[in-house]
Amino acid sequence: MKPHKPSRAPQGRRKDSPKRGLLLLGGLVGLALLAVAFVAGAQSNSGSSPSQALPSVSSGDEAQPAIDLARRVADDPAALGAVDAPVVLVEYADYRCPFCGVLSRETLPELISDYVESGQLRIEWRDNPIFGEQSVMVAVAAHAAGEQGLFWEYNTAVYASAPETGHLEIDRDKVLDYAREIGVPDLAQFEADLLDPVLFQRVQLNAQEAQQIGVSSVPSVVINDVAIAGAQPLQVFRDVIDEQLRLADQ
């Protein structure tokens, strides 16, 4: 699909410092630690019911105290849509999850066309790399592309190449191939950012948020305070978004 994203200025570059070498080493160590932590809890979701309760998120007939997961950060490269949109869809996903690929290819383009472009919906990405070291690697790579204003193009390219079953195999060469495919302008900077501990921490914080609210499978989506587990049919998402828009108008 053609990538969609709102107009926004690329994030400013971080300045190098004498500590850069130590930080890069820290990034490598961080990758190993993150991979060990995530792979231990790896699960996938293919047939969950459309509404599945997550701690502190209301869902279905059983409601729990709602929390607002939306960050609404202006110029967030990992977000699509107006910062003040009445409905926010937060997606917790792993780039190596085949069902996340289905959601990316079949559902999100329709939601972007019907709701994001009209200002009704904002989509915010959250990394939840539960399938190990390769998942962490590609998650960091997407944020590295985002540093040059191409997060969603990278995200789309990865899922476009993902298999319908099984886990996408990722290595450094493939990570770089995606960057070339979408036209990342500064490939040297992209390669350096693959080892940036700031980007590792960004992935880690997203994963920690997922763990804190009880997300143990991917994809998991929260629309305002309604949880949807798995790659459900498009109409399930439409129904929840329409209901949330109705409530916002009251």
Average pLDDT value for the chain = 82
Q: How far apart are CA 31 and CA 190, in angstroms?
A: 17
Rounded CA separation 1/113 (Å): 12
Domain presence at residue 117 = yes
Pairing label, strands 220-223, 87-93: antiparallel
- pLDDT score for 236: 97
How far from 148 is each of 1, 10, 23, 55, CA to CA, in Å?
20, 6, 20, 35
Residue with tokens 């040059």: 148
Residue 12: inside a domain: no
Domain annotation covers residue 38: no
| 174 within domain boundaries | yes
Tens-place pLDDT, residues 110-152: 999 999 999 999 999 999 999 999 999 999 999 999 999 999 9
5 domain residue, yes or no: no
3 contacts 153 by C-beta, under 8 angstroms: yes
Where in the sequence is the domain holding 103, given as residue range(s)? 43-249
Which residue carries 């007939």 as its tokens? 61
* pTM, full prediction: 0.78
Determine contact, residues 226/216, Cβ cutoff 8 Å.
Answer: no
Confirm whether 26 is domain-assigned. Answer: no
Q: Report the number of distinct structural domains present in the chain.
A: 1
pLDDT of residue 67: 75
Asked whether residue 71 is assigned to any structural domain, the reply reads yes
Residue 42 is predicted with a pLDDT of: 40
Within a domain: residue 1? no
CA 61 to chain centroid, in Å, comes to: 27
CA neighbor of 189 nearest in space, from 173, 176, 206, 178: 176
In tens, the pLDDT along 80-90 reads 999 999 999 99
pLDDT the model gives residue 216: 87
What residues in the chain have per-residue pLDDT under 70?
A: 1-66
CATH code of the domain containing 176: 3.40.30.10
Contacts of 224 (CB under 8 A, 6+ apart): 70, 87, 88, 244
